[in-house]
Structure 1
C-alpha cells in the first residue's frame, strides 16, 4: 500500500495535517506542511510569529503562498511589463502553538480549503517552497566537500540517487571565451560575437557574478535582456565578505548563508523583503556594512520577489 493510502485509526492520512498533531520543532512543522503542500500542488511560506521574552516561539502561522494580496506599488504604472498578480487571498493555513507541559508544538488551527487550483504534479518542483535541497542533502554535500569530493560530483551522486541526471536541471557549456582583459569594451565585443552566433536573438535572462563591468556592458548590447545575479556566486561572496560579522552577532544558530538564503528563496513580497532586510540589519547591528549595502542596492537582480517571474 502506497503512502497516499496509509491511514491512521481516525481515518486521516498520515501526511495530512490535523488539529492537535504535535511537532518537536518549528522547522519540523514547516517541513511537514511543506511536504503536504508539495503533494497537493501548492507552495507555503511562514506567516506571523509570536515569541516569549526569552526568544522561544510560542505560536507560528504557516500560510499558502497565495495568501493575501500584493500591496499596490505606485511604480507599477511606469513599468512596461508589470509583475503578474499571484496572490488570491487564499485562507488556507496551519497554526502551531507551544505547549509548555508537553514541550512540543501542537496544531491549533488547520484550514484545508484553498480558493485556487493546484499546480500539476509534474510542476510542483518549481514551487518556491519546493525549490530547495533537503537538510539531509545539504549535510551530504558538506560531508562530501570535507572529504575532498568536488561539488559537481556530489550533485551527480544525489542525481543518481533520485533517478539520474534526466530528473535534474543540467548545465551545458556550449561556448567559451578566453579574454585578454575584462574591460567594458571587451565584454561589449564578446556579447556582440555571442549574438552573432545566436542569429541576433538575445536571451530573455542572463545570470552573471557581481562584476560591475559586465553589468555595464549587458544593457549596451542586450537592452531587452534581464540581468540577474547568480545566487550561488552571490552566496560565495557573502561567505567571504559578511559571514564573520554574523558569527559575532546574536543570530542564534544562523550564519550569513542561512540569512541570505531567506531573501533568495523564502520571501516573495517586495514590502516584506525590505522590512525583513531592515529588521535583519538592526538585529545584527550591521547597518554600516559596505558589502551588504551594495548587495541590497542590486536586490532587483537576485531577490525572490523581483526575479521569480523572470
Structure 2
C-alpha cells in the first residue's frame, strides 16, 4: 500500500505534537490506515523532573523474540510474530515549547500489511468505548453470561467486525476492573496483608480460588 507524500495523516520529520498521547494517537491512526499494529518501545525521562524526554513508537513486528526458555517440547509453542521490522516514529521533547518533535521516521516494512477490511481488528486499533464499558459493567453486575452478551452486542453493532473489540478484550477489561476493585475494601486489605507477610517471610504463602466469572470464592 502506498501513501501520497502530501497526505495529512502521514508522519513527517519535524512534525510537532502537543503531548506524547497526541503523537501516539496520530501514529496509531496512520498504522490503522496502513495496516500494521503499533506499540510503545524505548522511552527516557528526566531523572530530576520525571518528565518524558523521548519516546520510540514502533511496528509490533519490530525486533526479534528472545530465546524461549520454556520446554522445547511444549505442545503449543508460541508462534514467531516478529520480523525485525524497522518502521518507527521517534519523538523528542522540545524544552523551549514543551511540544514533542518527530526527529526520526521510517515507513518501510519487511512484512505484509493487513488489508483495510481487517485493519480495525489490530490490537492497537481495538477499543472499548465509554458507553460500551458502562453497558458491559452493568451486564456483569446483573449476572448475565458474558458470552451471550458479546453476541448480542455484536448483532446490535451489525456484526463482530463493527463492534470495535473482541471477546478477549471484553474479558481483559472486566478482569482489570475486578483487580482494581480488589485494591480497596475488605478483600483488598486481606490480599495486601498476605502479600506483605509473604515478603517478610518467604515461607508464608497464600492461594485463592476464582469462579468462572473470576470472582474470589475461596482463600487460604
Alignment-derived partner of residue 223 in structure 1: none
Residues 1:165 and 2:173 are matched in the alignment: no
In structure 1, which of residues 30, 38, 44 is the aligned counterpart of residue 32 of structure 2? 38
Alignment-derived partner of residue 102 in structure 1: 97
CA distance in structure 1 between the partners assigned to 2:181 and 2:122 by the alignment = 30
The Cα offsets for residues 66-121 of structure 1, whole Å up to 9 and x where unpaired, read as 00111111314121121110000001100000001111001010011111010111
CA distance in structure 2 between the partners assigned to 1:64 and 1:131 by the alignment = 16
Q: More strand by proportion, 1 or 2? A: 2
Taking structure 1 as the reference length, the TM-score comes to: 0.49
Shift of 1:294: 6.6
Alignment-derived partner of residue 54 in structure 1: 49
**Contact conserved, 1:141 with 1:151, CA < 8 A, in 2?**
no
Alignment-derived partner of residue 72 in structure 1: 67
SS at the partner of 2:118?
A: helix
Q: What is the CA RMSD across the aligned residues, in angstroms?
A: 4.0
CA distance in structure 2 between the partners assigned to 1:170 and 1:94 by the alignment = 26
Q: Bigger relative contact order, structure 1 or 2, given CA contacts below 8 A and separation 6+?
A: 2
Query: Against the structure 1 CA distance between its residues 170 and 97, is the aligned structure 2 distance closer, same or farther, given a 3 Å change threshold?
Result: closer
Number of matched pairs: 178
Query: Against the structure 1 CA distance between its residues 241 and 170, is the aligned structure 2 distance closer, same or farther, given a 3 Å change threshold?
Result: closer
**Contact conserved, 1:24 with 1:105, CA < 8 A, in 2?**
yes
In structure 1, which of residues 123, 127, 131 is the aligned counterpart of residue 126 of structure 2? 131
In structure 1, which of residues 226, 229, 236 is the aligned counterpart of residue 177 of structure 2? 236
Shift of 1:127: 1.4
**Contact conserved, 1:26 with 1:105, CA < 8 A, in 2?**
yes
SS at the partner of 2:26?
A: helix
CA distance in structure 1 between the partners assigned to 2:165 and 2:35 by the alignment = 24
* 1:60-209 pair list within 5 angstroms: 60-133=55-128, 137-138=129-130, 140=131, 164-166=157-159, 167-168=162-163
SS at the partner of 1:130?
A: coil
CA distance in structure 1 between the partners assigned to 2:171 and 2:157 by the alignment = 25
Residues 1:23 and 2:17 are matched in the alignment: yes
Shift of 1:126: 2.1
Shift of 1:29: 0.5
**Contact conserved, 2:35 with 2:114, CA < 8 A, in 1?**
yes
Q: More helix by proportion, 1 or 2? A: 1
Unaligned runs of 5+ in 1: 172-205, 208-228, 245-286, 303-310
Shift of 1:170: 10
Shift of 1:150: 5.1
Query: Against the structure 1 CA distance between its residues 28 and 118, is the aligned structure 2 distance closer, same or farther, given a 3 Å change threshold?
Result: same
